[in-house]
Amino acid sequence: MYGLTALFSCTCSPHYFCSPHYYYLLLLTATFIPTPIGRLFAIADDNGLYLLEFDNRRGLEKEIERLRIKRQARIIAGNNAILTQLTNELALYFSGKSATFTIPLCLMGTPFQKDVWALLQKYQPVKLKCIRI
């Protein structure tokens, strides 16, 4: 996790907010979310979720950097309403109480990718049953 900690210390430095050239930057908030299957890393603003990945995924630092550059954003460690809602919905999911997620997503990608994601979001979760013969 040294890489993610270093990323926070670089992007959260106060000098980024002193220059008038950086006032247009988007401010994103990041946090770690513990789950039964591993710790997740999430990035969101007050409008939606930008990233949710396992914190030990190979290449995560590069993905965060691409997000930061593409959205012209600064990422700070912390919490916001979207991340709190995500944490609560994940807890309900892993406890078996709900399989519904209502988190707004901030999707980035080609028009084709966005069309596929929009189509996938229309599907409802299904329950699978195993039958012993």
Reported as a single tens digit per residue, the pLDDT across 15-33 is 344 445 555 689 999 999 9
Task: Compare 4 and 108 and report the one with higher pLDDT.
Answer: 108
Query: Lowest-confidence range among 46-50, 51-55, 123-127?
Result: 123-127
The DSSP secondary structure of the chain, one letter per residue, reads: -HHHHHHHHHHT-GGGGTSGGGTTPEEEEEEEE--TT--EEEEE-SS-EEEEEETT-TTHHHHHHHHHHHTTEEEEE---HHHHHHHHHHHHHHTTS-------B---S-HHHHHHHHHHTTSPP--------
Question: Is it the case that residue 2 has pLDDT exceeding 60?
Answer: no
